[in-house]
Structure 1
Amino acid sequence: MPDLQPAPPAAGPASASRTASGAAPARRPRVLLAMQPDIAPRLLDADTLARLTALADLDPALVVDDFSTPAAAAALREAEVIVSCWGCPPLDATVLAAAPRLRAVIHAAGSVKHHITEACWERGIEVTSAAWANALPVAEYTVAAVLSANKRLLQLRSDYRRLRAPHDWQAGYAGAGNYRRTVGIVGASRIGRRVLDLLRPYDLHLLLHDPYVDAAEAALLGARSVPLDELCAAADVVSVHAPELPATHHMIDARRLALMPDGATLVNTSRGSLIDQDALVAELTTGRLNAVLDVTVPEVLPPDSPLYDLPNVVLTPHVAGSLGGELHRMAAAAADELARWTVGLPFAHPVGPGDIDRSA
């Protein structure tokens, strides 16, 4: 449940008269669901849907991914809040002109880059995202990948299938395991910080590269701040958690891949463009490196991509984030934010224009 303690008023409903406790009386704003229609029933479990309809004037049967249809246009004219998820159309100046009462967008997913436009900031639309909730499963996926990579799980599986007989595994895997191995985290993003936090209990050496994090802050995160080249050269596992920006395009290029030790593993759950994929495939084909890739360029890879079949690659279809029942956490987060907004409290997880360049 949201923390409904008194706080400075947010724009929009905060102008309502306030109660003695400091919070404005709860009101039922008009809310429109904007996302792919097939996402809504997977996202909104019965409890969260009941909560949303109690908090707001909401038609759960109306889920729009096109604002130009007559039903969507009529709902947009009255909407004060949009609850969005994957597939929400861009909220550009034309759409906002057709939504004169719109004051807030609550995104029940991660990045808002695909639908929040400059026109939203110019209009003063309040924006919040469940990126924090979506970060949790990504971090969990990453930690599983790191621990499995150091245990050399893929190679063990392959060798055991091939041999099918007694074998001296200790001799063959003398370098395996997670004790005092080095893990390099690229990017102290929300996900990167959560990964560091989850890895702290293990007997690992943690390195961090982030140009905006100094040595003192890195130490507080449990890591040692190093340049990217040093991280690549030292780490048994390199995990990428930086945003997709022009400055990060191919930040892990052929030269930095060549710096990685033989047998090292590259984990990418951020965006495929951060890795020079052709250079990575060349390294992986030789068997020198391993990879766990949840994102690629393009998504989906063509059927003849070698990444599907290489034995030293774990390839997943961009599912490290919320999947299955994990979607319900994002929906619950959106309901929490709506509850705050209806009593005039600021969003707990606001997104501003300055946040866009630091997000995936």
Structure 2
Amino acid sequence: MGTLEGKKIVLGVTGGIAAYKAVEIASRLRKAGAEVHVIMTKEATEFVTELTFREITGQPVSVDMWAKVANFNVEHIALANLADLVLIAPATANIIAKIAAGIADDMLTTTVLATKAPVMLAPAMNTNMYENPITQRNMAELRTRGMQLIEPASGHLACGIEGKGRLPEPVDIVQAVSDFMTEAQPLRGRKIIVTAAGTIEPLDPVRFLGNHSTGKMGYAIAAEAARQGADVLLVSGPSGLPAPANVRIERIQTAREMQAAVQAEYAQADAVIMSAAVADYRPKAVSAEKIKKSDDELVLHLERNPDILLGLGQQKQQQILVGFAAETCHLEEYAKKKLAKKNLDFIVANDVSARDAGFAVDNNRVQLYFRDGRVEKYPLMAKTELAKVILDKLAAILP
């Protein structure tokens, strides 16, 4: 097992039947050299006592945000700041839902919201709860933010059924923590610009030209790049997604605003990953007032937006450029043309007409086309996993 010597781990324990296993997790983390600080939810104390964890870790145990006010010292912020990792084991469906929604109503959820450290969760719950689409959506949301989820085990559950949802054995959880914390960070020291979501071009104060991009792919790339040690700037069009942990974000609306944001830091960048769906055209004139409906046809006069990626390719020096091609037909032909025309190192191409991949879903099916002629095709996979593939390819060609 990899050493955790000197690492400070905040262990969150929630109110599931598997809470008793957290005692062994804390013990094994200590034996691996970690300094362990336990936060228990009120419900967790119904299964295991605070005293047990205090004796094992040698540290005070936090439960109530308002207890011992004289020594409070903004405790949740202190724990959030000292943590090298926040591990929640077991992670119930309830705590997963609260974190996904950004709720901070107890010591544990407040610490998670305040920390800049990586967050790892080990889900444990009834099989039906685990497989519920809401729980699956919440877990996908956490992955999009760069949080790590340990896959639950299958077997006999406390509710009496067989299925997926068991908390993995403590030895396996501590191994996952050790592997994660000692994992090489191939992008450490690299500056990467990622663009995400769609741009919008206003017609009047109410309407705009836009597209269906939600930013899920770009946000997943930004989160993974930060996890791999990169200094990440995420330039995002309008999106309902929260900013990934440890990522600088600049929110823009129009193509010209995105161009300005990228150009401002391009010279210092090691790589740019242009996953945003940038509007090709904008209205020649924007009405200062809402355009009123009439019996006549409405004619819009459009003009070309700047081609951001083409401009970057023309200015390119040492930077690695990665583009995206979202097409509905002739995928290979259009992707190869874009690769050559825009001086890219590789391009990620996908068919957005497929119902199970592309915009506004958690999965994608892509083909990678490289400058040297290589082509790599990938099956349908989660965008969080695809982000790792893309960044692995990037790391391999960085000078």
When normalised by structure 2's length, the TM-score is 0.28
By relative contact order (CA 8 Å, sep 6+), the higher-ranking structure is: 1
* Greater helix proportion: 1
When normalised by structure 1's length, the TM-score is 0.30
